Each structure stands twice: as structure tokens, then as C-alpha cells.
């Protein structure tokens, strides 16, 4: 038997909070884990013994029975009848108490259950954080008004045939190639999903530098006017004929071409969409799927790093760079991070770098040689491109490997391969799509990424949030390097 208890103080009158919580069938209005709720046999939610049937964001179901409800004690108790997780003999009690010294109330939420011994800590944490504390946050935001739009509109429409037609949704369109000013909010028709497609109601959208390149026309990925964006998270709204991997109500994410993510709703190929694990929030997923999947195949497939390898990472404080460093360090790799400032060197150190090189202070290839006593590094990860490529080759040990996966400083251009022979250097120029373009390939990467996140080997950092309508500001800030960490748009 374990007992999990959490409590919080809400700055709202107890009557207002009780009105929200009392509705045993109303958790879909506020709890982030609950996509839809109904009372079985069409009964009322305040009949003792009523059974509610929740569909969770990941498509699974939980059935819970109301055991007690007291308007006098502002409390209710319920038990789980059926759940996809091992919450046996689960009984929970919710209780509100007034804080009479101000217009506030205490909300207590506790549960007892019998977990399998091996799952005890994980399930306790799941209940405490993903059920109780996540619920506290949602009701707090609902009370503050921030969540009112969500309250008015169910987070995910029930899987109903009535929704099968085209729908209108807000989207950010690049009206032509150019600066941030070419981005405009438009209302676009989102087609009903055709065969093999799914339509997603998106809740968080990642902003990446590739979106800037797409907008300016440096990358030839769109024909304006077109919607930008490579990654997002949300709920499956409906699926087209032949789709068996997803169901309406599933909480999902994706990170891939073609662009089109900057929208409140999107119809796309269902094979590119995957379920999100419960511990990863929509915002965190949108902020890091593309970067995390990149780091996954760069470290394991393009070149398989191994314990004792010495690795040089360019732009080690950047989005992909910092994940590469943290992940490789956890795998026993000695990581040297090259960065542009002392502040970024500190970020790189926190990301697990054993050594840091600041570009302006010394020649990074010479520094890498010095740090390895003249041997050179086993592998270089270089997304800087033009300004670093030649030095990266010089930094390598004999039979070392250079992974060139980006060009932040400009295209590498033509380069004579003869100089690679001086150290028998091998070279990769990987393309994201070739590691993620089938469900099997994608699953390899997402399984690996989610396992690393779950184990705490890498961490999803809190992104900076912009409204979808503020995409122009997000691009301006990203290009001016006014931001630290990831950027996410919320429709």
C-alpha cells in the first residue's frame, strides 16, 4: 500500500473551486490528462455509485466510480475500476477547506493504492505529478482566466462522424520569401483526413532555425504562400480510412518535413505521427522532438559513439548541441564543447562537457589536439559548416569521423577530399528524412529518445512560449539570438 498526498492553496473562494471540482463528469474541462469524459448509462455525475469513463490524451481509458460526495465537507471520494496502469485498489479523496483569512482555499488530493513493488516509485510519482499536481495547475489557470477558452471548448472533440468535414483553423503563412514581416495569420481550410491521414488539433508548436531558413528561401522547402513549421504536439481529432496506428483522442507529436506545423489544426500523413509518453508535456515535446530525434540518430546511427571516445561538438550550447553533449557524456564519451562565449561555455559545462573551447580565444583544432595530447578526437559533430569544416578535419584523430549536419555559418561549398587522406578521415552528411521517413525508422528514434528522457539522461528544458499570432516576434527573437533554449508557439 502506498499513499500519495498533495495539496495546494488556490487564491479563489472555495465556492468557485468546488463548482469546478464537484462535477464528477467535468474533469475533461480542466484536467490535462483527460481528453473526454462521460457517465456510463447516461446517469448524473452526482449520483453515488456513478461510473465515469475517461478517455485519456493517449487514447487509453480509465473507469472510476464515485464513492462519496459531500457538499458539507466539500469533498468527494472515488475508486478506479479499470485503468491501463497498475493502480490496484486505488481509492482517492479530494477535499477543499476554506482559508478564512483571505478569499482562498486549500485543495487536498490524496490516494492509496497497491502498486507492484517494482513500479512503486514510478507510479507514486505519476499520481503525484501527472495527476494531482498537473490538475492543480490546470484549475489554477482555469480560475485565472487563462484557461477559459479551453474550458469553453473541449480539448479534443469526441470521435464523431459529424466532424469529418473540412474545418477552419488559424495558421501562420509565409506570404513570400523574406524577413519575419512576411509571416501573417490567416484562416485556412483544414481538409478532412484522406486515406492514411490524420487531423490533429495542435496545442504546442516548435520553432526551429530551419523555419527561418525556410522562410528566407535559403532552404527550398516551400512555395509561398505556405505554412511553416516542422514539429508540434496535440490531440488526434479524426483519422482517415485505413489508419490503424492512431485513434481520435490520442495525444501525439511529430517532427518532420514537409513544413506546415504553424497552425491550430493540421491534416497530415498519419505514418509520421507518434504517441507521446505521459511524462512529456505537449510544450516540452514541441520544444524538443526535432532536436532530440536528430541527436538520437547522430549519436547512434550516423556514427555510433562508444565509451571512451573523445568527441568535439560545435555550438555545444545550442539546441541540438547541448542534447548531443549531455547524451554522449551519459554514454561515457569525453565531450569537448566549442562555443562562442564564456556564458555559453558555462551552459556547455552544465550539459556535460569535460572541456570547453571558446572560438575567439584559440584555434579550436589546435585546442582539440592539445586536449588529446596530440592524438585528435574520434568524432566531430559540426553544424556550423563553412567557418569550421576545415578545422574540424584537422581536429580529428587518424581514422576519425566528421559528421557535418548543418551550415549555420554558410554552406561548406566545394572541398577537396584529398586532404581527408592525411588522417584516413571519413565523412557523413546525414539528412534528417533518411533516418525518420518510415514508421519503423521513426519508432527506433522515438523509442530511444523517450527512454533517455524517462531515465533522466537528457532533460526537456522549459521552452519560451509565444502565442501563435506572435510567430513574427518569435522569429525576430530567434534570429537576433535574444532567446535561450527552445521556442514554442501556442495556438
Residue closer to other proteins (CB basis): 7 or 482? 7
Q: Least distance from C-beta 97 to other proteins, angstroms?
A: 6
Q: Least distance to other proteins from the beta carbon of 133, Å?
A: 7
Q: Which is nearer to other proteins, 140 or 291 (CB)?
A: 140
Q: Does 399 bind other proteins (CB under 8 A)?
A: no
Window contacting other proteins (CB under 8 A); options: 1-9, 21-29, 179-187, 338-346 = 1-9
H or E stretch at 295 = helix 282-297
Based on CB atoms, which residue is closest to other proteins, 125 or 176?
A: 125
- Label the pairing between strands 61-70 and 51-56: antiparallel
- What is the contact mask toward other proteins in residues 60 to 99, using x (rule: CB under 8 A)? -------------------------------------xxx
For residue 173, give the H/E element and its range. strand 167-174
Q: What's the min distance (Å) between Cβ of 46 and other proteins?
A: 24
In terms of Cα–Cα distance, which of 236, 283, 231 is closest to 261? 231
The whole-angstrom separation of Cα 333 and Cα 161 is: 52
Compute the distance between CA of residue 441 and CA of residue 463 in angstroms, rounded to an integer: 27
Nearer to other proteins, 105 or 471 (CB): 105
In whole angstroms, how close is the CB of 150 to other proteins at the nearest point? 21
CB of residue 108 vs other proteins: minimum separation in angstroms?
7
| Interface with other proteins: number of residues (CB under 8 A) | 15
Q: Which is nearer to other proteins, 8 or 340 (CB)?
A: 8
For 164-187, letters b (16+ CB in 10 Å) and e give eeebebebbbbeeeeebebbeeee
What track of x and - describes contact with other proteins for positions 93 through 112 (by CB under 8 A)? ----xxxxx--x-x-x----
Q: How far is the CB of 105 from other proteins (least distance, A)?
A: 9
Nearer of residues 6 and 122 to other proteins, judged by Cβ: 6
Residues 111-150 that bind other proteins (CB under 8 A): 133, 136
- All 3 cell numbers of residue 286? 514541441
Which CB atom, from 43 or from 98, has the smaller least distance to other proteins? Answer: 98
First-last CA distance in the chain: 42
Of residues 8 and 476, the one with the C-beta less far from other proteins? 8
Name the minimum Å distance from CB 6 to other proteins: 5
Q: Of 122, 127, 123, 97, which is closest to residue 110 (Cα–Cα)? A: 127
- Tell me the closest approach of the beta carbon of residue 481 to other proteins, in angstroms: 35
Task: Map residues 448-477 to x or -, x wherever contact with other proteins holds by CB under 8 A.
Answer: ------------------------------
Closest approach of other proteins to the CB of residue 9, in Å? 5
CB closer to other proteins out of 109 and 389: 109
Under the criterion CB under 8 A, does residue 9 sit at the interface with other proteins?
Answer: yes
Strands 310-314 and 334-339: parallel
Angle between helical axes of 209-216 and 471-479 (0-180°, round to 10): 100
Residues that bind other proteins (CB under 8 A): 5-9, 97-101, 104, 106, 108, 133, 136
Amino acid at each position: 500500500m502506498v499513499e500519495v498526498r498533495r495539496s495546494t492553496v488556490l487564491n479563489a473562494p472555495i465556492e468557485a473551486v468546488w463548482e469546478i471540482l464537484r462535477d464528477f463528469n467535468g474533469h475533461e474541462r480542466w484536467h490535462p490528462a483527460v481528453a473526454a469524459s462521460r457517465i456510463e448509462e447516461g446517469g448524473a455525475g452526482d449520483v453515488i455509485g456513478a461510473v465515469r469513463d475517461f478517455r485519456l490524451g493517449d487514447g487509453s481509458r480509465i473507469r472510476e466510480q464515485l464513492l462519496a460526495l459531500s457538499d458539507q465537507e466539500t469533498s468527494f471520494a472515488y475508486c478506479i475500476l479499470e485503468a491501463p496502469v497498475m493502480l490496484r485498489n486505488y481509492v482517492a479523496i479530494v477535499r477543499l477547506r476554506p482559508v478564512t483569512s483571505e478569499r482562498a482555499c486549500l485543495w487536498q488530493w490524496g490516494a492509496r493504492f497497491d502498486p507492484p513493488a517494482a513500479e512503486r516509485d514510478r507510479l507514486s510519482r505519476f499520481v503525484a505529478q501527472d495527476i494531482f499536481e498537473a490538475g492543480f495547475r490546470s484549475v489554477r489557470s482555469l480560475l485565472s482566466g487563462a484557461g477559459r477558452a479551453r474550458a469553453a471548448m473541449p480539448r479534443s472533440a469526441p470521435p464523431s462522424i459529424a466532424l469529418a468535414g473540412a474545418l477552419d483553423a488559424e495558421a501562420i503563412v509565409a506570404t513570400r520569401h523574406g524577413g519575419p514581416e512576411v509571416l501573417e495569420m490567416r484562416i485556412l481550410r483544414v481538409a478532412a483526413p484522406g486515406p492514411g491521414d490524420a487531423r490533429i488539433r495542435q496545442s504546442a508548436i516548435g520553432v526551429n532555425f530551419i523555419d527561418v531558413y525556410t522562410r528566407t528561401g535559403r532552404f527550398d522547402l516551400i512555395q509561398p504562400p505556405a505554412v511553416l513549421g516542422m514539429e508540434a504536439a496535440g490531440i488526434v481529432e479524426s483519422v482517415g480510412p485505413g489508419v490503424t496506428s492512431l485513434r481520435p483522442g490520442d495525444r501525439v507529436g511529430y517532427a518532420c518535413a514537409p513544413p506546415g506545423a504553424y497552425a491550430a489544426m493540421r491534416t497530415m500523413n498519419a505514418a509520421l505521427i507518434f504517441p507521446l509518453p505521459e511524462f512529456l508535456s505537449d510544450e516540452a515535446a514541441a520544444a524538443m522532438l526535432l532536436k532530440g530525434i536528430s541527436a538520437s540518430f547522430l549519436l547512434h546511427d550516423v556514427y555510433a559513439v562508444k565509451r571512451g571516445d573523445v568527441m568535439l561538438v560545435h555550438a555545444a550550447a545550442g539546441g541540438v548541441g547541448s542534447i548531443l553533449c549531455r547524451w554522449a557524456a551519459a554514454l561515457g564519451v569525453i565531450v569537448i564543447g566549442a562555443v562562442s562565449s564564456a556564458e555559453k561555455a558555462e551552459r556547455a559545462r552544465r550539459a556535460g562537457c569535460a572541456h570547453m573551447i571558446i572560438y575567439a580565444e584559440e584555434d579550436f583544432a589546435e585546442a582539440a589536439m592539445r586536449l588529446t595530447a596530440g592524438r585528435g578526437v574520434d568524432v566531430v559533430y559540426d553544424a556550423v559548416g563553412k567557418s569550421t569544416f576545415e578545422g574540424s578535419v584537422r581536429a580529428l584523430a587518424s581514422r576519425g569521423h566528421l559528421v557535418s549536419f548543418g551550415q549555420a555559418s554558410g554552406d561548406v561549398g566545394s572541398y577537396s577530399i584529398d586532404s581527408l587522406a592525411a588522417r584516413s578521415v571519413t565523412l557523413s552528411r546525414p539528412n534528417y528524412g533518411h533516418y525518420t521517413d518510415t514508421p519503423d525508422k521513426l519508432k527506433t528514434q522515438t523509442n530511444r529518445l523517450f527512454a533517455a528522457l524517462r531515465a533522466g539522461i537528457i532533460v526537456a528544458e522549459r521552452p519560451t512560449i509565444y502565442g501563435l499570432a506572435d510567430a513574427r516576434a518569435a522569429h525576430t527573437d530567434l534570429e537576433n539570438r535574444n532567446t535561450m533554449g527552445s521556442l514554442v508557439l501556442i495556438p
